[in-house]
A and B are shown apart, each in its own frame.
Chain A
Amino acid sequence: MAGLTLRNVGKRYGALSIIQGLNLDIHDGEFLVLVGPSGCGKSTLLRMIAGLEDISEGTVSIGGKVVNDLPASRRELSMVFQSYALYPHMSVRKNLAFGLQNFKVSRTEVERRVAEAARILQIEQLMDRKPRQLSGGQKQRVAIGRSIVREPQLFLFDEPLSNLDAELRVQMRAELASLYARLGTTMIYVTHDQVEAMTMASRIVVLRGGKVEQLGTPQELYTRPQNLFVAGFIGSPKINMLQAKATRGAGRTIVSVAGMPDFAIAELPTDDQALTLCVRPSSLRVGSGDVTGQGTIRLVEYLGSETLLHITLSSGQVLLATDNGRTPYRMGDPVTIGFDLSDLHYFDSAGQRIEPIQKESQVQ
């Protein structure tokens, strides 16, 4: 069990800089998810931690020890690959035992650990098969089993569920979560799927272009995204983004959004006049709210438990709202759509989050 510290970590390929000046403190025993769009550097970062890529700048420390020059085999960690990377010419049993044999673990101990891992992952009946005789899900379990037997201080996962079909993915998510609950070892998990991130992580790191956009718990990321990118990345369906104009007045700000009536809020700590307003589809309500506007239903997507409404405002802006699925809506119907001020997120012209200033003096 170990925590990690990344100080000023950078990665360069020739002149191209993938990651720059990255700082991260990973707590011992937490399940940290690195999430972000393709090319954001999450896999590269993971591989640098693993020792499969050189670290161009900065230091990586595991359990307090700087491991920059330590080869992968000596970092006491395990990794589960997206393509499972099982040794094709070895049986499942041999796949599991191979790593342990390299570390000169005694035969009885190897057998014990292999049997234990097989039991936990329910692959006991597959022990003598070769990887090519296994299904995707089974291969996945063997890959996880291979990393468990090593009893490492750190688990690394590189998009392990990406190659599985949707149903299997949901099942494996639950199994990984229960595995984490059982072992409690520090786990670093890379994925591009924000649903996996939200459901499994104790903390999430959102990466873009080699930089940390936000680090926090799933709740923090969802309720208080620090910038536009995180707001749009986390949460499904995607958050609604509205261009707004702010006019500062005496101790308050008037916000104008096309298609909605202007409204006033407490002062915003910015001189910017162009703002972006964000509101989650689940926060939009049909027919009521602090601020309401008129629109036309453009598309109805009925999911059973909820309905997704695509609504066009008079300004042409399209909003996405979720409804409880009980009201039958029709395309082309006029509709009143609204939101509460407390559900709004404000972002300045640079895309950074800003909060209306709470006037302490007002609270007597």
Chain B
Amino acid sequence: MKTSATDLELAIQMDEAARVAHELRLKRDRQNRNGRILKHIFLIIVSCVMLYPLFWLLASSFKPENEIFGSLTLWPSEFRLDNYTKGWYALPISFTVFYVNSAIVTGLSVIGNLVSCSFAAYAFARLSFTGRSFFFALMMMTLMIPYHVVLIPQYVQFLNLGWVDTYLPLVVPRFLASDAFFIFLMVQFFRQLPRELDEAAMIDGCSPFKIYWAIILPLSLPAMGTAAIFSLIWVWEDFLAPLIYLNDIKSYTVPLALRLFLDQEGQSAYGQMFAMSVLSLVPVVIFFVLFQKLIVRGIATSGMK
């Protein structure tokens, strides 16, 4: 009868179709797998190329002087620590002083940034006041001002105040929210907190200051953390401002000390120079490894730097 014949045909066709589909799928999976393997190989190569300079720096710091430019091999023939021990004291002032200086400047700057920027961000994000949008626009515009434009007048200003050769020109601006990027970062974060929290707190008897302290700040630890990390890394690596304001070698921060090293010993003691360079990067790398998630999220949400 017709029915069984067409049923059989149908069954055969379906079987055929299923087989073809299965083969296509296998082919695609194979391609995907090959593609994935290729991708991984490529990424691994790129990673190695990217990291090689850092590894080379690290390796060279452990090699005796003559070996550094001799071969490409990363592994030193003998592990020497004297680049570090000698380099630390190679300059007229030991690096201990330089690290302490950097720590002081960085620490104060981070605190200043966190306090002043969170204040401003709170005002912009949570309080309504006449001129808010105007000042906010002004603040955003300062983001595009290159430091070099304000550099000279600021220098003259600080010179007249007698602040040159102190840490004041480096630290005080941080307490005046000079880095608008952090204000922006925090404003974005604050805006995500529900307004009803502020309102409930108001009804619960909180002044704006109390709301800032007891409600907004505790809920903003991720943003504060991100700001602290970025602030720390950028101030630690800052070169131009210390270059201008610090004349006395005793007050040098690590970047300035490295440059001095380059000038004085640069042609002869590469190993030591590399060793000191490695040490200057160590805090940054450590903080990066510890707070990677915060940093990555901070960039993605603010889209800068």
Considering only residues 80-109 of chain A, those with a C-beta below 8 Å from chain B are 81, 83, 85-89, 98-99, 102-103
B200 touches A103 (CB 8 A): no
> Interface residues of A toward B: which range?
20 to 34
**Distance (Å) between the CB of A73 and the closest chain B CB?**
4
Task: Map CB proximity to A onto B201-218 as digits: 1 under 8 Å, 0 otherwise.
Answer: 111111100100011001
A residues near B207, Cβ cutoff 8 Å: 73
> How far apart sit A78 and B218, CA to CA, in the bound complex (Å)?
24
**Distance (Å) between the CB of A145 and the closest chain B CB?**
13
**Distance (Å) between the CB of B111 and the closest chain A CB?**
22
Considering only residues 180-212 of chain B, those with a C-beta below 8 Å from chain A are 194, 196-197, 199-207, 210
B residues near A146, Cβ cutoff 8 Å: 200, 204
Q: Residue B10 at the A interface, CB < 8 A?
A: no
Q: Residue A234 at the B interface, CB < 8 A?
A: no
Partner of A73, one of B196, B205, B218, B219: B205
Considering only residues 54-84 of chain A, those with a C-beta below 8 Å from chain B are 71-73, 77-79, 81, 83
Chain B CB count within 10 A is highest, among A81, A83, A85, A86, for A85
B203 touches A50 (CB 8 A): yes
Partner of A71, one of B196, B202, B204, B214: B202
Indicate whether A73 sits within 8 Å of B206 (C-beta atoms), given known contacts A85-B194, A87-B215, A88-B219: yes
Indicate whether A102 sits within 8 Å of B210 (C-beta atoms), given known contacts A73-B203, A81-B199: yes
Chain A CB count within 10 A is highest, among B200, B203, B210, B214, for B203
Smallest CB gap from A147: residue in B: B203
**Distance (Å) between the CB of B63 and the closest chain A CB?**
52
B residues near A87, Cβ cutoff 8 Å: 197, 200-201, 215
Indicate whether A81 sits within 8 Å of B205 (C-beta atoms), given known contacts A87-B215, A89-B219: no
Q: Residue A51 at the B interface, CB < 8 A?
A: yes
Partner of B202, one of A73, A86, A98, A103: A73
B residues near A102, Cβ cutoff 8 Å: 204-206, 210
Indicate whether A89 sits within 8 Å of B199 (C-beta atoms), given known contacts A83-B194, A102-B210: no
B residues near A50, Cβ cutoff 8 Å: 199, 203
A78 touches B203 (CB 8 A): yes
> What secondary structure prevails in chain A residues at the interface with B?
loop
> How far apart sit A83 and B215, CA to CA, in the bound complex (Å)?
17
**Distance (Å) between the CB of A6 and the closest chain B CB?**
19
Q: Residue A357 at the B interface, CB < 8 A?
A: no
Q: Residue A52 at the B interface, CB < 8 A?
A: yes
Smallest CB gap from A104: residue in B: B205
Indicate whether A72 sits within 8 Å of B203 (C-beta atoms), given known contacts A81-B196, A83-B194: yes
A98 touches B203 (CB 8 A): no
> How far apart sit A277 and B164, CA to CA, in the bound complex (Å)?
88
A residues near B204, Cβ cutoff 8 Å: 73, 98-99, 102, 146, 150
> How far apart sit A91 and B214, CA to CA, in the bound complex (Å)?
13
Chain B CB count within 10 A is highest, among A72, A78, A86, for A72
Smallest CB gap from A79: residue in B: B203
Chain B CB count within 10 A is highest, among A71, A87, A146, for A87
A residues near B202, Cβ cutoff 8 Å: 51-52, 71-73
**Distance (Å) between the CB of A140 and the closest chain B CB?**
14
B199 touches A99 (CB 8 A): no
A residues near B219, Cβ cutoff 8 Å: 88-89
**Distance (Å) between the CB of A336 and the closest chain B CB?**
55
Smallest CB gap from A84: residue in B: B196
Beyond A72-B203, A73-B204, A87-B201, list 9 extra A-B contacts (CB 8 Å). A50-B203, A79-B199, A79-B200, A79-B203, A81-B200, A87-B200, A98-B201, A99-B205, A102-B206
Query: Using a CB–CB distance below 8 Å, which chain A residues touch chain B?
Result: 50-52, 71-73, 77-79, 81, 83, 85-89, 98-99, 102-103, 146, 150
What are the 3 tightest A-B residue pairs by CB atom distance, in nearest-first order? A99-B204, A102-B205, A85-B196
Pull 11 A–B residue pairs with CB atoms less than 8 Å apart, ordered by A: A72-B199, A73-B207, A79-B203, A81-B199, A81-B200, A86-B200, A87-B197, A87-B201, A87-B215, A98-B201, A98-B204
